[in-house]
Structure 1
Amino acid sequence: MSALQPIPVGWASTGETGAQNYDEFADDAEITALVAANPDSMLGVEMPHRTPEAVAAGLDFAAALPAASARLASLVDTGKLAAFTDAIAVYRIGDRFLGMFCLVDTAEIAAGPGAPGRVIRNEEVFAAKVAERTALIQTLATLTSPVLLVQADGDALHEALADVVAESGEPDATDVDQHGLTHAIWLVGPGPDRDRLLAAADTGELVVADGNHRSLAAQQAGLTRFLAVVAPAGSVSIQPYQRLLRQLPMPVPEILDGLRASGAGVRSVDGRPATPPRGTVVLYADGQTYEVTLPPAAGSAVDRLDHTVVEQLLIRHVLGLTPDHPAISYIGGDYPAGWLAAEVDADRAALAVLLAPVTVEDFVEVNLDRATMPRKSTWFTPKARTGLVLADVHEDLGAISTPDVQPEALSR
């Protein structure tokens, strides 16, 4: 049986529900502001404790979960989400990205090196985030945000996706993201097009490019399938993933001395911080920029990554912190170096840590080794939007699925 399957019962956006994923923000206050500006945003469902109402009431995530269910039901009742059955969805972002929404068997997620399974989950996760996503799945019985899977050899898939887009006319739904990119979906029901797309996507290994927490949450919730966007690797690129230390356990001069004692080269430089080349890390604190030349790293491909060296040398050894310490904020590629510097200048952070982006070649090598990437080390773009295609999982959770809107017949 194929590892990739159509969505038996789902919903597609009719407009205004699309949003950035919950983990794309450096500050939770941004989520509250976005939901206030657009109450139909799926962020209000995915982050119910960050809605204006929940913030005003002081609700935590668990206490706000009933409101997430009510908000999702309202989106269906008001026609913001239209039900469909037995379909996949071709997905285009801008003029470069092509992929497809479908379901993927959780049994295909490999448990580690040498373990069976074609889906490679490659990054350390935060247990608290997984617990929240698991609780959301169990409360909603609906998957609202996809896991992005990339297929290394995706030429056949790209060709099939492009053919369907060219032949299908206007999309079933569109949405514009914060970068001005248009996200478009075409629902594809039973027939030769769907068969060709599923066959082209269901080959080789599929690497989790975005959604490690969501895929693990699907497993922990007991689901047999998770919602995914499968795309050729050529559709995505990797941007920098930086760090902010909100507080420091020691003065900056002691940190620099600790780095020097560990074999790193440290020098002060003029000018504002910028993303460095590989092998160098830029630190910014108290209005001063420092270039840190990392000591040579031996070992496997993952051991040699700058992100691994920084995690071991700076975070663990010098600062004495664990990578999941609440003082550390992981800042994705949507936020430029100037934004990080401004956070430090405004005393909202004590130290900015800027690293070179992981190369696609390194990412592929680590995954072929079935090794695990350091947490928050790859910021893939473009990002799949949450709230465009949803999947009902009542059946997996032991309930009966009863959509509130009659599913539309699909001709494609």
Structure 2
Amino acid sequence: MSTQRPVAAISQGWVSAGGTGAPNYDEFATDSEITTIVRDNPRSALAVEMPHRAPEAVRDGLDFAASLEAAAQRLAAQKADGTYERVEDFVAPYRITDGDEVSYGVFAAVATDQISTRADEPGLVVRNEDVFPAKVVERTQLTRRLGTLLSPVLLIQTAQGDQLKGALIEAMQSDPVVSDVDAAGRRHEIWVTGDERLLAFAGAGELVVADGNHRSLSAQQAGLERFLAVITTPDSVRIAPYDRLIREWDTDLPSVLERLADNGVGVRESASGPVVPPAGVAILYAAGKTYELTLPASGGGVADRLDHAVIERVFFGQVLGMSADDKRISYVGGDYGPSWLAAEVDTGSGVAAVLVSPVSVDDFVSVNLAREKMPRKSTWFVPKARAGLVLADVR
């Protein structure tokens, strides 16, 4: 490992003039949502992050690789026309306000060689979740073509969160340089400073990857020395449910229910509609009916015993014969909820929905301290840092 500072200022970057903030590329249940956002707001960072979902690319049938040049041209034009302002050697305090709830963080540059994925690998940044290789390939291609990072990795500071929060509040006494409101009504505000204390507090202890496992691995594969991150405090985030929508399957509902029982899952039809289940129980919604699934006990480490791991292993693996990266599975985060999932099934956009109890913060921390891997798409942290507010050049 190098001796470079683990958390540093962004040496060359850009700050939005407004209107560019967007959900990260992997927060959507359907690709058509991305196309709609870009159509309604061509300034959205999604037009660069997901160029093959821009309306013109969809019209012309372009895939991701064929759309990269358009992404590079769009970003270059935005940098030239004042959509983004050039800033050097800075960190960016970040505040998200959602009603009475306020979350704090800071945009900074984090050393890629600090990423640790197992107990015997030194490093300040703990990456805790398996990834989908195809997504990493796309992120790496985009980074290499753009030379700019638009979407931050969300890291939780585990040692000096209170000190970091206090310093961030002090840094936010002036007006923000940009303020952006998302579709849910949350306000995202950015300040620009060179305050060294923020870097000291942000890098004081282990940094757990809460969102951005694919982006952090992509930074490694692209050969970057640093990646763009928002470092937040433990009390600034919570974990919401992360569910699954099955678009198609090569079976029928009675067969699925029979196979579930054969694999040790308790199956009971419920008169109520789909809801967020308690720990140890999952909900299956299909053909207008709701089934409570009592999950079998599992051995192994903390990660292996999580409901998400059992669902992935037993329901999708043993019952349906699907791998976690099967294209027929849509991973649906906490911004959607049971009613949205039920509507997708009822209208024929999916054959079934599987609702899983949210991971507890204690279990999440335990998995990270043990340097185990979280099941893929098992933690939906809220609120999420927006892409396209602060950018970092990487060449």
Q: Does 1:162 align with 2:196?
A: no
Name the structure 1 match of 2:134: 128
Structure 1 unaligned segments of length 5 or more: list them. 395-412
Deviations 1:81-128 (A, max 9, x none): 000011000000004210100000000001323211110111111111
- Give, as a single letter, the amino acid of the residue that structure 2 aligns with 1:351: A
1:1-400 map, 5 Å = 1-94=4-97, 95-153=101-159, 154-166=161-173, 169-189=174-194, 194-394=195-395
Name whichever of 65-74 and 245-254 sits farther off: 245-254
Q: Distance in 2 between matches of 1:24 and 1:108?
A: 26
Alpha-carbon deviation of 1:152? 1.9
* Whole-angstrom distance in 1 between the partners of 2:91 and 2:17: 16
Matches of 2:82 and 2:95, distance apart in 1: 23
- Partner amino acid, structure 2, of 1:179: A
CA distance in structure 1 between the aligned counterparts of 2:187 and 2:102, rounded to whole angstroms: 11
Instruction: Give the alignment's Cα RMSD to 1 decimal.
Output: 0.9
Secondary structure, counterpart of 1:2 in structure 2: coil
2 CA distance for matches of 1:249 and 1:374? 24
For residues 143 and 40 of structure 1, what CA distance do their matches in structure 2 show? 16
Structure 2 residue identity aligned to 1:163: E
For 1:122 and 1:80, how far apart are their aligned partners in 2?
35
Answer yes or no: is the 8 Å Cα contact 2:239–2:360 preserved in 1: yes
Secondary structure at 2:305 match in 1? coil
Q: Partners of 2:95 and 2:121 in 1: how far apart?
A: 33
Amino acid at match of 1:250: T
CA distance in 2, matches of 1:391, 1:269: 50
1:122 and 1:111, CA in 2 relative to 1: closer, same or farther beyond 3 A? closer
Alpha-carbon distance between aligned partners in 2 of 1:2 and 1:231, rounded to the nearest angstrom: 18
The answer for unaligned runs of 5 or more in structure 2 is none
SS at match of 1:160: helix
Q: CA deviation at 1:161?
A: 0.9
Deviation at 1:264, TM superposition (A): 1.5
Could you tell me how far 1:299 is from its partner in structure 2?
A: 2.2
Q: CA deviation at 1:245?
A: 0.8
Task: Output one character per residue of 1:203-222: Cα deviation in whole Å (capped at 9) or x when no partner.
Answer: 11100000001111111001
CA distance in 2, matches of 1:178, 1:112: 37
Q: Secondary structure at the match of 1:371?
A: coil
The one-letter code of the counterpart of 1:98 is Y
TM-score, normalised by the number of residues in structure 2? 0.97
**2:66 counterpart SS class:** helix
Displacement after TM superposition at 1:336 (Å): 1.1
- C-alpha contact (below 8 Å) 2:117/2:128 kept by paired residues: no
Q: Deviations over 1:346-395 (max 9, x none)?
A: 1110110001100000000000000000000000010100000000111x
Write the distance in 1 (CA, Å) between the matches of 2:340 and 2:135. Answer: 25
TM-aligned CA deviation for residue 283 of structure 1: 0.2
Is this contact kept in 1: 2:117–2:371, CA < 8 A?
Answer: no
Corresponding residue SS for 1:96: strand
Residue 135 of structure 1 aligns with an amino acid whose one-letter code is Q
- The offset of 1:298, in angstroms, is 2.1
TM-score, scaled to structure 1: 0.93
Asked whether the equivalents of residues 157 and 203 of structure 2 are also in contact (C-alpha less than 8 Å), the reply is no
User: CA offsets, 1:19-78, max 9 Å, x none?
Assistant: 111111111111111101000000000001100111111110000100001110111122
Q: 2:179 aligns to what SS in structure 1?
A: strand
Question: In the alignment, which residue of structure 2 is the partner of 1:399?
Answer: none
